[in-house]
Amino acid sequence: MGQAIVLKVAGLELRGELNDSATAALIAAALPLEGLAARWGDEFYFTVPVEAGLEPGAREVVEAGELGYWPVGRAFCLFWGPTPASSGDEIRAASPVNPFGRIRGDLSILSSLGSQARIRVEKA
C-alpha cells in the first residue's frame, strides 16, 4: 500500500492508506483535503480539486471501507454499506469509481451521522 492517511469526521479519526493507483497519487498530492460531505445511503462523498478519468480497474461494486474517486462528480467517496443503487447487501456506487484506498476498522459509527458531515483527509 501507499500513503497512510487519517480521515477526521464528527470527532472521529479513521485511519487507512492509499493504494498504488494513479488516482491515489493525485489524491496524495492534493492532501490535505476537506469538504462538507453529503450522505447517499451508507456513503459520504465530497468534491475535491482532483481531476482523473476512469482507470482500468474502475468499478461500481465496492467493499466496506473502500475509498473511491467518482469522476462524474470529481468526488472523494467513502463507502461503508449499501447505497440507494445497491441490490441486497452489496455496496454499489452511482456509477464506476476508481478505488484508491481503504479505511480500516469498524465504520458502523458513520451510520449514526446525519445527511452531511465535514470530512478532513490528511497524511498520517
Query: Where do the domains of the chain lie?
Result: 4-123
DSSP letters along the chain, please? ---EEEEEETTEEEEEEE-SSHHHHHHHHH-SEEEEEEE-SSEEEEE-S------TT-EEEE-TTEEEEETTTTEEEEE-S--TT--TT-EEEEEEEEEEEEE-S--GGGGGS-SEEEEEEEE-
pTM above 0.75, yes or no: yes
Looking at residue 1, what is its pLDDT? 61
For 73-91, how does the pLDDT look when each residue is reduced to its tens digit (9 = 90+)?
999 999 999 999 999 999 9
For 6-29, how does the pLDDT look when each residue is reduced to its tens digit (9 = 90+)?
999 999 999 999 999 999 999 999
| Percentage above 70 pLDDT, the chain | 99
4-123 CATH pick, 2.40.110.10, 3.40.50.2300, 3.40.1190.20, 2.40.100.20: 2.40.100.20
